[in-house]
Amino acid sequence: MPADLILTNARLVLGHEVVSGTLRAAGGEIADVDTGRSTAAGAIDCEGDFIAPGLIELHTDNLERHMTPRPGVSWPHRAAIIAHDRELAGTGITTVFDAIRVGSILSDNRKRNGRYARQMADEILESRAAGLLKISHHLHLRAEVCSETLIDELGEFGTEDRVGIVSLMDHTPGQRQFTDLKKFEDYVCGKHGLSRTDFQDYVTFLYGLQSRFGVAHEEAAVAAATRLGATLASHDDTTAGQVATSKTYGVALAEFPTTVEAANACHSADIGVMMGAPNLVRGGSHSGNVAASDLANLDRLDILSSDYVPASLLMAAVQLGHLWGDMARGIATVTSAPAARVGLKDRGALRAGLRADIIRFAEDGGGPVMKSAWCAGQQVA
């Protein structure tokens, strides 16, 4: 077990306040938190830096970026997983739900999405069991409704995999994230190298997939979440009607609603609203959807996700802290709030008896600066 850890002369980010004091961890757990200053041998003088719970990431595309560093380029999975793990640790993320796509397109040569979920999950779980990973990894199955193989791929997972989240993804163009077809064209042609001349035929092909499989795939994903004991999430809800459907399915988390209307409906339905940290840092959505700052100002933002930039998670949480005039509330969007939505009762706060998942950061004029991170009391960055 890791040795005792004493962090003193720190600004401790607690549930509803920031206080000066000392935190002591022992045996991988937080032993006590108090407002005094420690003179114990080995105590680390934090010089007034913030000490906060380790960040919890529920939805990130970062692993896929390491798997495919360039369009058409595949990287060895184990190397990708380890690089992803180390990058997250360095940004203060101590718990991650690795987002893995289930649901592939195999028949269309313009943009084939090969099957990889089961193999990737096995390699994550094997790496975790072998002690190769520094932070706590969980599985998030992104169930792509507009696909050909979703039902078969979901069937490859069982309760022994400890899947934490199943999210309903429907990237059929013309709705949700890509209501604007020009934005969708720029996305698939730019990111995936699809020819502009093939774009309209590809859109027609996707409409056909949705017509043939959409209803059955959505039902299968909802059933899989129940079977696996996973939190069910919706994705890119745009209308109140879509949110109402999500509620009937038992959705607890709305990933990236695209409009104020949808966010308001989620709030009324007690569905947690998660927005992208890059949206907040950049000042708007790259897809032209609602700005995270607008939802924050309306009190309709509950959780942040780093989405495609791991370092954005702490940046955006601190930004929210200043926007709201409440640093504890800002940090809660990346710690206690995500922990509560996915049922992680052993982390997400600086409280005796919880896992010693802890970060130390300072602030300068450019935002937060990560200094150290511990996962279950073991320093990982």
For residue 260, what pLDDT is reported? Answer: 97
At 327, give phi and psi (nearest 5°).
-65, -35
Take residue 125 and report the two structure tokens written for it: 């779980």
pLDDT of residue 212: 82
Q: What is the pLDDT of residues 264-275, one digit of tens each?
A: 999 999 999 999
**pLDDT the model gives residue 70:** 84
Query: Hey, what domains does the chain have and what are their CATH numbers?
Result: 1-53+348-381 (2.30.40.10), 55-346 (3.20.20.140)
| Identity of the residue numbered 217 | H
- Across 46-75, b (16+ Cβ under 10 Å) vs e yields beebbbbbbbbbbbbebbbbbbeeeeeeee
Q: What pLDDT is recorded for position 286?
A: 74
Identify the pLDDT of residue 196. Answer: 64
Separation CA 249–CA 52 (nearest Å): 34
The reported pLDDT for the residue numbered 183 is 66
Please give the pLDDT value at position 318: 98
The set of long-range contacts for 254-259, using a CB threshold of 8 Å and a minimum separation of 24, is 255/58, 255/59, 255/167, 255/305, 256/177, 256/289, 256/305, 256/307, 257/290, 257/295, 258/176, 258/177, 258/179, 258/285, 258/287, 258/289, 258/290, 259/289, 259/290
Low-confidence ranges of the chain (pLDDT < 50): none
Q: Which residues pair with 273 in a beta bridge?
A: 254
Amino acid at 252: A
- Nearest of 85, 131, 129, 25 to residue 377 by alpha carbon: 25
